[in-house]
Amino acid sequence: MSHDEYLWSGQGEADPLLADLERTLGSLGFDGEPQLVDDLPRTGHGAGPTSRLRTWSWVGLGAAAAAMGLWWHLGGAGDPVVHRPRASAPVVPPVAAGNGEPGAARIGDANGSAIHGGPPVGIEPGPTDAPGSGPDRAVAPASHGEPDVRPARPEPKPRERAGLRPKAKSRPRPSSRSGGESGAAPATPESAPARPVEPRPSNPPAGAPDCAEHPGADLCPAGTETGEKLPFKLGEADAIEGLGPVLPEAQRCGRRHGAAPGTTVRVKLRVEGASGRVVRATAQSPHGGTPLGDCVAGALAGAQFRRFEYPSIGIVYPLKMAP
């Protein structure tokens, strides 16, 4: 009963499991300083000393909007079809309307490239744009305080609409960040094709048919031969359990091939549901085809997951080299 009291109020005698859960899971909690609050548009009182930065960013936005309007008014890129003003563009707070002058233009220039160089918000880059200024910026992720210049975006994100700092994406996208990996340089060029690694022979679960050699639904009625209730797919916990035993060997690849600590090697695994075995492991760019990538892929190919109903699933696992 005292354990229940601890569960309820955090006081009294702690069940070891409860204390362990608190300690373990506490690291995943909210770490919230109100980073957005200082950037929110004020709806009531006048500006205080802490809001100057926000005010200047509004000034910059106002200048950008004014420049866009001028650009549109003067003919812009020359294509009347794309010059349709967007509904979201004129939404500028009053403080910016009165300050969209030369000084504000400098601020806007520093904060974002919507005034000079890149195309204005929501407008396709025209033929008069400086080479390389428009499309390159259009695909780049928005940075701090920078107006979004992606041309085809229908509506800004809520955080951008509210004048908030865009947060850095917590998950880098491999397709747009080829240089995002830190640490050792790859031994071969990034364009080298990834070589799939044949999985090592591993022991299938007792009583399970070797479905890697005998594929087919009839031969591998996953779970039915033992009456086992299988999950439809693997969950995160299953992935952790399956990959855990082979991680030390994968980490040794980093030391063996001189990878700097923090280097991330992404490996795509194809896991077969009927056997839970890895049937294909491929290191992804920039480590595809490199000795390091092949070594890590080979190590992860030995993972044994629990079986599941779905024929097969793909798992992309980014292995970060330990210090």
Partner 1 sequence: MDRLVTVPLDSDGEAGAEEVSPPVAAQDVAAVEAARAGDRLAFAQLYRRFGPVVHGIVLARVPRTEVDDVVQEIFVQVLRALPTLRDATKFGGWIARLARNRALDHRRRVTAVSALPDDLLQSSPEQGRALFVLAKLRELPEAYRETLILRFVEGLTGPEIAERVGMTHGSVRVNLHRGMQMLRGKLEDGR
Contact pattern from residue 157 through residue 196 relative to partner 1, giving x for each residue in contact according to CB under 8 A and a dash for the rest: xxx-xx-x--x--xxx------------------------
Position 4 contacts partner 1 (CB under 8 A): yes
- Interacting residue with partner 1 among 65, 184, 239, 301 (CB under 8 A): 239
Tokens of 245: 């035993």
Q: Is 7 in the site for partner 1 (CB under 8 A)?
A: yes
If binding is defined by CB under 8 A, does position 252 make contact with partner 1?
A: no
Contact 41, 162 (CB under 8 A): yes
Residue nearer to partner 1 on the CB measure, 43 or 128: 43
Rule CB under 8 A: is residue 213 a binding residue for partner 1?
no
Nearer of residues 17 and 87 to partner 1, judged by Cβ: 17
CA dihedral of 197, 200, 205, 208, whole degrees rounded to 10? 70
Residue 22 binds to partner 1 (criterion: CB under 8 A): yes
236 touches partner 1 (CB under 8 A): yes
CA atoms of 289 and 285, how far apart (whole Å): 8
Stretch that binds partner 1, among 18-26, 62-70, 105-113, 290-298 (CB under 8 A): 18-26
Three-state DSSP class for 33? coil
Q: How far is the CB of 27 from partner 1 (least distance, A)?
A: 6
Q: Closest CB to partner 1 among 38 and 101?
A: 38
b/e map 215-239, b = 16+ CB within 10 Å: eeeeebebbeeeeeebeeebeeebb
- Strand (E) positions, the chain? 264-272, 278-283, 312-320
Q: Which is nearer to partner 1, 124 or 241 (CB)?
A: 241
**Which of 1, 16, 29, 87 is close enough to bind partner 1 by CB under 8 A?**
29
CA-to-CA dists, residue 264 to 136, 284, 305, 309, angstroms: 26, 10, 22, 31
Computed from CA positions of residues 134, 179, 177, 164, in that sequence, does the dihedral angle turn out positive or negative? negative
Residue 311 interacts with partner 1 (CB under 8 A): yes or no: no
What distance in Å separates the CA atoms of residue 288 and residue 27, rounded to the nearest whole number?
33
Q: How many residues bind partner 1 (CB under 8 A)?
A: 61
Chain-centre distance of CA 192, in angstroms? 24
154 is a contact residue toward partner 1 (CB under 8 A): no
Mark the segment that binds partner 1 (CB under 8 A) among 13-21, 98-106, 116-124, 221-229: 13-21
Q: What six digits make up the tokens of 198?
A: 């044949």
CB of 217 to partner 1, least distance (A): 21
DSSP states of 259-271 as a string? PPTT-EEEEEEEE
Site string for partner 1, 261-300 (x = CB under 8 A): ---x------------------------------------
Separation between Cα atoms, residue 222 and residue 228, nearest integer Å: 8
Tokens of 201: 């022979």
Which lies closer to partner 1 via its Cβ, residue 98 or residue 235?
235
By C-beta, is 83 or 165 nearer to partner 1? 165
Q: Where does this chain bind partner 1 (CB under 8 A)?
A: 4, 7-10, 17-18, 21-22, 24-30, 32-34, 36-38, 40, 42-45, 51, 157-159, 161-162, 164, 167, 170-172, 233, 235-237, 239-241, 243-244, 247, 251, 264, 313-323
